[in-house]
């Protein structure tokens, strides 16, 4: 007879691990798959998580996995290729062709980021090049901050970064779409503007030092923020027929429920603020909700 897990969790970042902890503590039979690519793996520190502020993201995940050992959660370090749902059972195929079954499924598969196409940026990403001011604004406080955004896309972030430094410059990288009102607003808020095309960024030990322009000039900068495109790390939500928002995240209802019976989505893959502590909290919420649904289904009634 085939083995049926209570829950299969796809994704072992903060959302998936916290869900696993709640479900393990609820004595559920849990199988967790992880592809080993948490979104913040480029970062040297994970900030804004009470009691773990500044901890290295890899160490945070390792500690979480250590803590799970006492709850007998089964972990498979392989990506899931496909998932289907039929008549109350989820069927999950891993990347090596093995098949697994469960009553409930939790997607905690996260998002991935597109970096601006600038030579040299990858070496600085997560150290002095960031996208989230709530994650890295404090570490960049009072520095010479560059904000990258083509056309008009960087205006909001440039204004927001004034919260962390008086020295903010918006780079539009060769685009000239800022109108008179934009320029007035930026000037009023003392945001400098550079519309010249960027050739490359230069730094040392991951720390940005210069933005080199195509006209040969070079600007001294110490941190760069951008707000780029994000996409789902996995297409399993689409395979299952989940509803998506216009921003490409999965729509969830109360307690992280998706539009398919027994399917839950937690963390960055779902709609909400994209922070580690929020992902972990959503994982915990989904864990409780899944356990309650299983309790209801298994309860004897008079
Ligand atoms: C550079 C950077 C720095 C950041 N810094 C901070 C910070 O300081 N503080 C903060 O609060 N937030 C920070 N964030 C945001 C934070 O990374 C996310 O909010 C958080 O990781 C979301 O957790 P998650 O569990 O939803 O997804 P993730 O952490 O992305 O984990 C998803 C996991 O699912 C796995 N997966 C995906 N598809 C499959 C599949 N098909 N099969 C099996 N496994 C799969 C992935 O391999 C991954 O391990 C940062 C983000 C970036 C990009």
Q: Residue 92: helix, strand or coil by DSSP?
A: strand
Which residues, 6+ apart, have CB-to-CB distance to 225 below 8 Å? 129, 130, 131, 133, 136, 140, 145, 146, 147, 148, 157, 161
Q: Residue 152: helix, strand or coil by DSSP?
A: coil
Cα gap 182→205, rounded to integer Å? 35
Whether 129-226 and 4-113+229-298 are alike in CATH topology: the answer is yes
Pocket-forming residues, ligand 1, beta carbon under 6 Å: 10-16, 33-40, 42-43, 46-49, 79-80, 108-110, 113, 126, 132, 135, 233-234, 236, 267-269, 274-277, 279
User: Tens place of pLDDT for every residue, the chain, 302 residues?
Assistant: 689 999 999 999 999 999 999 999 999 999 999 999 999 999 999 999 999 999 999 999 999 999 999 998 999 999 999 999 999 999 999 989 899 999 999 999 999 999 999 999 999 999 999 999 999 999 999 999 999 999 999 999 999 999 999 999 999 999 999 999 999 999 999 999 999 999 999 999 999 999 999 999 999 999 999 988 899 999 999 999 999 999 899 999 999 999 999 999 999 999 878 999 999 999 999 999 999 999 999 998 87
- On whether the CB atoms of residues 226 and 149 are closer than 8 A, the answer is yes
With CA atoms as reference, report the closest residue to 74 among 173, 140, 160, 8.
8
Domain boundaries, the chain: 4-113+229-298, 129-226
Cα gap 279→83, rounded to integer Å? 22
CA of 209 to the centre of ligand 1 (A): 28
| CATH class for the domain made up of 129-226 | alpha beta
Distance spanning both ends of the chain, measured CA to CA: 30
Q: State which ligand 1 atom lies nearest to the alpha carbon of 33.
A: 43
The most distant pair of C-alpha atoms in the chain lies apart, rounded to whole Å, by: 81
Q: Tell me: domain 4-113+229-298, CATH 3.50.50.60, correct?
A: yes
Whether the model clears a pTM of 0.85, i.e. scores above it, the answer is yes
């Amino acid at each position: 007879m085939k083995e049926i897990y209570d829950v299969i969790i796809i994704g072992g970042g903060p959302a998936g691990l916290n869900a696993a902890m709640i479900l393990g503590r609820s004595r559920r039979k849990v199988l967790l798959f992880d592809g080993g690519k948490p979104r913040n793996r480029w970062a040297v520190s994970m900030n804004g998580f009470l009691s773990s502020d500044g901890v290295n993201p890899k160490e945070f995940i390792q500690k979480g996995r250590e803590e799970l050992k006492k709850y007998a959660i089964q972990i498979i370090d392989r990506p899931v290729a496909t998932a289907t749902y039929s008549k109350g059972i989820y069927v999950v195929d891993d990347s090596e062709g093995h098949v697994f079954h469960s009553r409930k499924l939790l997607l905690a598969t996260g998002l991935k980021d597109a970096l601006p196409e600038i030579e040299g940026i990858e070496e600085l990403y997560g150290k002095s090049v960031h996208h989230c001011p709530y994650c890295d604004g404090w570490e960049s406080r009072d520095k010479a901050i560059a904000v990258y955004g083509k056309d008009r896309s960087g205006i909001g972030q440039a204004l927001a970064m004034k919260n962390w430094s008086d020295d903010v410059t918006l780079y539009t990288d060769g685009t000239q779409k800022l109108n008179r009102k934009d320029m007035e607003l930026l000037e009023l808020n003392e945001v400098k503007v550079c519309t010249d095309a960027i050739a490359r960024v230069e730094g040392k030990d991951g720390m940005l030092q210069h933005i080199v322009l195509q006209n040969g000039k070079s600007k001294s900068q110490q941190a760069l923020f951008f707000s780029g495109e994000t996409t789902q790390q996995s297409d399993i939500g689409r395979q299952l027929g989940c509803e998506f928002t216009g921003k490409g995240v999965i729509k969830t209802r109360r307690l992280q429920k998706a539009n398919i019976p027994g399917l839950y989505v937690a963390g960055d893959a779902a709609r909400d603020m994209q922070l580690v502590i929020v992902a972990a909290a959503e994982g915990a919420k989904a864990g409780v909700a899944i356990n309650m649904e299983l309790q209801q289904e298994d309860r004897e009634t008079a």
